[in-house]
Amino acid sequence: MTPKITRLVKQMLKGENVSLSRIISQVENEGSQVPEIMKLIAPHLGKAHCVGITGPPGVGKSTLVDKLTALMRKQDLKVGIIAVDPSSPFTGGAVLGDRIRMQQHYLDDGVFIRSMATRGSTGGLPQTASSVIKLLDAAGKDIILVETVGVGQSEIDIMEKTDTVLVILCPESGDAIQTMKAGLLEIADIFVVNKADNPGSDNFVRDIQAMLELREPSWWNIPVIATQAVNDVGTEELHKQIQLHYQALCKEGRLSQRRQLQRKQDFIKTLERKLTNKLLRSIEQDGQLSSYIEKVEKGELDAYSAADEILRSESLLNDWFRQ
């Protein structure tokens, strides 16, 4: 590792936000220094409470994050925010819509906001989000808020990376029952019905509560909180429930279980990503591998048979792993 990176990591561990920002850029670009960076910060992990905020677009996730951050800062908690925005179709970068709604926190040294682009990820979070969460943890943030891009039903990645998951819905977001059936019911630790001053919100809350009653009894009774984020109504109760969930996780021994699962999933996803990237590079450079693609493209060989032939070829696999 270069002395510059080592110095930046040391400064980041002391809580310097500028150094933190530069290290995050290194991790997002998946440079060669990343393994050493993650090794250096490993002893400093596990102190932050990580909260995921997900739900369909337009339900007010960013406004809720803004209000929750203000409440947490009143308790003198250091807050890290990862705001995942859609990728620009031109540059691949984040559109930065979330930052516009969090302007009041820019000048607060106790709040660190990082916008990240999805970069083609379909699970609501970019592939490097897990590493960025670790960096915020190591940098001394007490609580980390991770707001997903808002693609809706496919955002299950958040469950594998955070301790507490908020699912935000509103009366105008469509059929609540269909939304629940799609999987959000399984990942929520707290349901939030935002824009609760809109018509039909009371019925909406009751629908969700009725669905929750059909579930098997659990160690945690999932609350349904009605909020009006724009008017700062219900946010204190939501903050209280976030704290209660974290306390329950610790008391029941569930926090260590969740984090063990998170580490396992992180390892599998990292290995999968590295192997995929290695394979794609090999296909470009290896004539024998590329010949299989040509055969599949021309219809001379089906995809399954081509894959099986490659996996059965010891010499091909040995050459690939040596690269």
Instruction: Lowest mean pLDDT of 108-112, 152-156, 195-199, 210-214, name the range.
Output: 152-156
Q: Are 13 and 109 in contact (CB under 8 A)?
A: no
Q: Write the pLDDT tens digit of every residue in 251-265.
A: 988 999 999 999 998
Q: Write the pLDDT tens digit of every residue in 100-154.
A: 556 677 678 899 999 887 655 554 567 788 999 999 999 999 999 999 876 544 4
Q: What mean pLDDT comes out for the span 243-254? A: 94
Cβ contacts of residue 29 below 8 Å, gap of 6+? none
Residue 248: both structure tokens together: 């329950």
- Identify the residue with better confidence: 317 or 138: 138
Q: Write the pLDDT tens digit of every residue in 23-55.
A: 999 998 888 889 999 999 999 999 999 999 988
Checking if the pLDDT of 180 tops 60, the result is: no
- Identify the residue with better confidence: 90 or 158: 158
Residue 73: both structure tokens together: 């800062």
Q: What mean pLDDT comes out for the span 165-182? A: 70
**pLDDT for the residue 223:** 96
Q: Average pLDDT, whole number, for the chain?
A: 84
**pLDDT for the residue 309:** 83
Q: Are 13 and 44 in contact (CB under 8 A)?
A: yes
Q: Write the pLDDT tens digit of every residue in 220-243.
A: 999 999 999 999 999 999 999 999
Q: What mean pLDDT comes out for the span 278-284? A: 76
Q: What mean pLDDT comes out for the span 76-94? A: 70
Q: How confident is the model at residue 89 (pLDDT cuts 50, 70, 90)?
A: very low
Q: Are 55 and 158 in contact (CB under 8 A)?
A: no
Q: Write the pLDDT tens digit of every residue in 57-67.
A: 888 998 999 99
- Identify the residue with better confidence: 127 or 219: 219
Beta strand 143-147 with 49-54 is parallel
